[in-house]
Amino acid sequence: MQEVFYTVIEWLFWIGIFIVFYTYLGYGTLLYVLVKVKELFKKPISIGLPKPLPEVTLFIAAYNEEDIVASKMENSHALAYPTDKLKIVWVTDGSNDRTNELLKQYPEVTVLFQPERRGKTAALNRGIQYITTPYVIFTDANTMLNKEAVHEIIRQFSNPEVGCVAGEKRVETNTAHGATAGEGIYWKYESALKALDYRLYSAVGAAGELFAVRTELFEQMPSDTLLDDFILSLRIAQKGYKIAYCKEAYATETASLNMKEEEKRKIRIAAGGLQSVWRLRNLFNIFRYGMLSFQFVSHRVLRWTITPVMLFLLIPLNIILACYGKFTYIFLLLLQVAFYIMAYAGYMMEQKNVRNKLFFIPYYFSFMNINVIRGFFYLAGNKGNGAWEKAKRIQ
């Protein structure tokens, strides 16, 4: 009986190691190899801008953004796209600060407002009914776009297989405070994975800071949806279109003010991820969706479901195995202990506003996975509510 117990624990331990490794390093490595093999036989096709340029709507869903209205409008006016082709729409539902008053200074802007605050998804569902252009670009009020962003996004739509374009999110890392180090490194890695995903077949979702869709493909979402950008983009992919990843179109924002504010964001994203996995469960059907199913599970589902659980189960499993005296398991346990000591040191240094990548990266990695587990409880306690408290960012 003891032998059976040991074998079961051993199998669970090595399965756990495989899942954690595959989720964070293995999939990226496999993806790189698959892309290289594919491109040996099929070179990427260069695409140009459509002529004439189509009309586009820049859609900004905002809640109490009085501090950023002027900067966002200055940035929007600086976009290198014909002004007669670019319409700007702000949906400001529930805002009770000076956002609407400040927007009156811009007669070229369409402002859609209702007093009730029902969350961003409800604002998107309501606002899209007023969009008449063939393409709509969604962006957050607190993110600034590069000058050529609209041109580069529209260029991607020249490919009729593309139904959604995901821009790149960039986090400013030139400040001494905030959750800069972890957030910046995380998004650089995410951007690399998204680019490889698209080169293989399709990006797996888009970030709300900057993404665009063919207006006709917009699908109304339940108002309690937490990750509207992810759900909307994957719904389009389910219809047989691809999500293009365009690093030449990027949105820049500042990092979270501190790790407490970053924690709010991570918990909400994790809760939204769990919600999305359930609502997009049809994508598990690999016989119907093929490569998209493989990418969805490998890039998204694992990190939002089983991987964080397996990561923290490795500790007690390893302790049990080490008790049997095998050097391999004692050594692996020491490695785990060393990793979490470094993570704790990173946490203690964070409390004192001291940064060291050697310690901060293990801390941020542990922090992300803990918040995935906390996201489950957030989701359970926020049923039917699509509005959330925004995380504060560095000004």
Task: Tell me the pLDDT tens digit for each residue of 216-225.
Answer: 999 999 999 9
Note the pLDDT of residue 179: 52
Note the pLDDT of residue 8: 94
Burial of 112 (0-12, 13-18, 19+ CB in 10 A): middle
- The tokens for 41 are 């036989």
Note the pLDDT of residue 305: 95
Q: Could you please report the per-residue DSSP string of 256-279?
A: BSSHHHHHHHHHHHHHHHHHHHHH
Q: Any residues with CB less than 8 A from the CB of 53 and at least 6 apart, and which?
A: 81, 82, 85, 154
Note the pLDDT of residue 318: 97
φ and ψ of 208, to 5 deg: -65, -15
Note the pLDDT of residue 357: 77
Q: Any residues with CB less than 8 A from the CB of 312 and at least 6 apart, and which?
A: 369, 373
Note the pLDDT of residue 163: 97
Identify whether the C-beta of residue 230 lies closer than 8 Å to the C-beta of residue 138. Answer: no
Q: Which helix (H) or strand (E) holds 35?
A: helix 27-41
Between β-strands 86-91 and 109-112, what pairing exists: parallel, antiparallel or unpaired? parallel
Q: How many angstroms separate the CA atoms of 358 and 289, rounded? A: 40
Q: How many angstroms separate the CA atoms of 184 and 253, rounded? A: 10
Note the pLDDT of residue 176: 45
pLDDT-flagged residues of the chain (< 70): 173-184, 257, 383-395
